[in-house]
Amino acid sequence: MTASGFYGAGFPYRDFGKLPGKLIVLEGTDGVGRSTQVNMVRHWLEEEGYAVADTGLTRSELTGPGLDAAKSGHTLAPYTMSLFYAADFADRLENKIIPALQAGFIVLSDRYFYSIIARDSIRGIDKNWSRSLYGIALRPHLVLYLKASIPSLVQRLIHGRGLNYWESGMDLHFADNFYDSFVIYQTQVLKELEELAREYNFITIDADRTPSEIFEDLKRPIRLLLHNRLTKSERPF
Amino acid sequence: MLRPNDTKGKLIVVEGIDGSGKSTQIDLLFKWLLSKGYSVYFSEWNSSALVKSTTKTAKKGKSFTPATFSILHCTDFADRWENSIYPLLKAGVIVLADRYAFTAFARDVARGVDPQWVRDMYSFAIMPDAALYFRVPLDIAVDRITGARAQLKYYEAGMDLNLSESYPESFKLFQGKILNEYDKMVDEFGLTMIDGTLPVKDQQRKVRTLVRKILAGFDGLPNPDKAAISVNNPQARKKSKKGGK
């Protein structure tokens, strides 16, 4: 993949050369079980003999600590927060994802910029602005969208790590408690992701099922990708 | 591209390469406007407390790439824009900015990012009522900086671009590229060029003449105590130093 593999200008000051690896994205809202699936996919691929690297939002060493500190204060305004995430994204893309792809790894990305622009749009950020900003992003080979209903998300989160301030969209003041706010906010996130699924050609996977059932559904397109047998409608570009 | 000013306030920004004397000029303007009884707020490039720890880490570890350098400086700008500059403009304050989006357009493009991409990134901000570009020939600016400052810093000197192994030489080449980008923006954005080699007093006279024109018929927010404005952001307790770096 050459520079034409970016959504926009990419990183014009660098020539990354050939990227023999594959970039696979798992998208989906909070509490949908993405990290469980990333682990299962990773183990499966490694057993099959592939070298796998994984990454996820806010994991950049550059912005991780600063972003955590900023989020704990609740005074992050929309564009500021969006740009903080974009810095994290750019850092991981240039310094982690692309080098791994150059080395022929399969990179599993626990979310990509799609989640970020979905959340940003709800916070009033101009959609064209977001799309232009992520002109630096590499087009993935596959975007697998884990789609779950609100009741199953609530159930998983309450029996898991609990509802939190940002995942409930408390900064938007939709409601006076985490539960009601979560329901309103995540309903809007799902709607945004639905639009993005069409725009960026996600493969939608029903995530209202057991982890092993979801996993079986994920394996099929990944297998096809690795054997170069994905149909045109299954590719993100 | 930058939006038109839709607020009651006035936005005046100064731009130019390091050593162009812009900070001196905006400081004089700030004190003058305050003495005239206007409500004035001063905002400096790269001064958001929210982003500071991240920028510091990156500078120390030399871990910026042109893209992350660009995005993080815009994050810093956005924090100041959303939490202070824009609300204050809406309230009818005169906001003075030491460096604005044009700094990013010049510097980040000199580092190699896409010109349209960085312009789009700042498109949530407005076009200033006055964008004063203090222009000095490269040699004069470089002499001013290298004479006044003990040591050039890594990113300041553009060492990340591998232009030269020598800090002063790299600095000069990098500032030359930035100067070139600024010159191109004079027409693109209608920047007002001021000759930065003139005596300080003469430059300030020109600045005030221009600002007087902009403020003709402007009421703005009253300031009976003639006091400066500081924005109380709980995360920005450490006040930024004014002027210089």
Domain edges within chain A: 3-234
Mean pLDDT of B8-14: 97
Instruction: Tell me what pLDDT residue B227 has.
Output: 80
CB B33 within 8 A of CB B40: yes
Using the beta-carbon criterion (under 8 Å), do A84 and B51 form an inter-chain contact? yes
Give the residue-averaged pLDDT of A206-227. 95
Q: Interface pTM (ipTM) of the complex? A: 0.90
Which token pair is B139?
């040699």
- The average pLDDT across A38-67 equals 88
* pTM for this model (two decimals): 0.91
SS3 A219: helix
Any CB–CB contact under 8 A between A103 and chain B? no
Is A63's pLDDT higher than 80? Answer: no
Is A126 in Cβ contact with B83 (below 8 Å)? no
- Closest to B106 measured CA to CA, from B191, B187, B183: B183
Task: Please give the pLDDT value at position B236.
Answer: 43
Q: HSE (CB half, 13 Å, CA atoms) of B135?
A: 15
pLDDT over 50 (residue A4):
no
Partner B contacted by A222 (CB < 8 A): no
A86 CB near a chain B CB, below 8 Å? yes
Q: Residues A26-54: what's their mean pLDDT? A: 94
Query: Has residue B22 got a pLDDT over 70?
Result: yes
Contact B72 A94 (CB under 8 A): no
* Max mean pLDDT range (A57-61, B121-125, B215-219): B121-125
**Confidence band of B242 (pLDDT split at 50, 70, 90):** very low
In terms of Cβ atoms closer than 10 Å to its own Cβ (0-12, 13-18, 19+), residue B123 is middle
Whether residue A2 has pLDDT greater than 60:
no
The alpha carbons of chain A give a radius of gyration, in whole angstroms, of: 17
Fold of B29-214: Rossmann fold (3.40.50)
pLDDT at residue B171 in the model: 93
Identify the contact set of chain B against chain A, taking CB-CB distances under 8 A.
Answer: 50-51, 53-54, 57-58, 63-68, 71-72, 74-75, 78-79, 81-83, 111-114, 116-117, 120-121, 123-124, 233-235
Q: Taking CB atoms and an 8 Å limit, are B79 and A77 in contact across chains?
A: yes
Q: What is the pLDDT of residue B229?
A: 83
Least confident of A2-11, A166-175, B35-44: A2-11
- Judge whether B34 and B211 are in contact, CB under 8 Å: no
Domain A3-234, CATH: 3.40.50.300
Q: What is the average per-residue pLDDT within B185-191?
A: 97
Question: What confidence category does residue A161 fall into, taking pLDDT thresholds of 50, 70 and 90?
Answer: confident
Which of the pair, B100 or A157, is modelled with greater confidence? B100
pLDDT at B237: 41
pLDDT tens across A174-198, in order? Answer: 999 999 999 999 999 999 999 999 9
Confidence at B55, pLDDT banded by 50, 70, 90: confident
Give how far B33 is from chain A: nearest CA, Å: 29
A54/B95 Cα distance (integer angstroms)? 45
pLDDT at B235 over 70: no
A7-37 confidence digits (pLDDT tens): 999 999 999 999 999 999 999 988 898 999 9
Q: Is the pLDDT of residue B238 over 50?
A: no
Taking each helix axis from N to C end, the angle separating B49-61 and A78-92, rounded to the nearest 10 degrees, works out to 20
Where b means 16+ CB within 10 Å and e means fewer, A99-125 reads bbbeeebbbbbbbbbbbbbbbbbbeeb
Q: Is it the case that residue B91 has pLDDT exceeding 50?
A: yes
List chain B domain ranges: 29-214
Residue type, B36: K
Q: What is the mean pLDDT of residues B123-149?
A: 91
Question: Mean pLDDT across chain A, nearest whole number?
Answer: 90
Out of A31-40, A151-160, B7-16, B212-221, which region has the weakest mean confidence (pLDDT)?
Answer: A151-160
Percent helix, strand, coil in chain A (nearest 5)?
50, 10, 35
- Residue B100 has φ and ψ, to the nearest 5°, of -145, -160
> Mean pLDDT across the stretch B193-200?
97
- Please compute the mean of the pLDDT values over residues B100-104 and round it to a whole number: 98
Determine what percent of chain B falls in helix, strand and coil, rounding each to the nearest 5. 50, 10, 40
Question: Whole-angstrom Cα distance, residue A73 to residue B50?
Answer: 10
The answer to whether B65 contacts A67, with C-beta atoms less than 8 Å apart, is no
Residue B132's beta-bridge partner residues?
Answer: B14, B192
Q: How many residues does chain B have?
A: 245
Q: Which residues contact B132 (CB under 8 A, 6 or more apart)?
A: B12, B13, B14, B15, B22, B25, B191, B192, B194, B207, B210
Query: If you average pLDDT over residues B223-229, what whole number do you get?
Result: 80
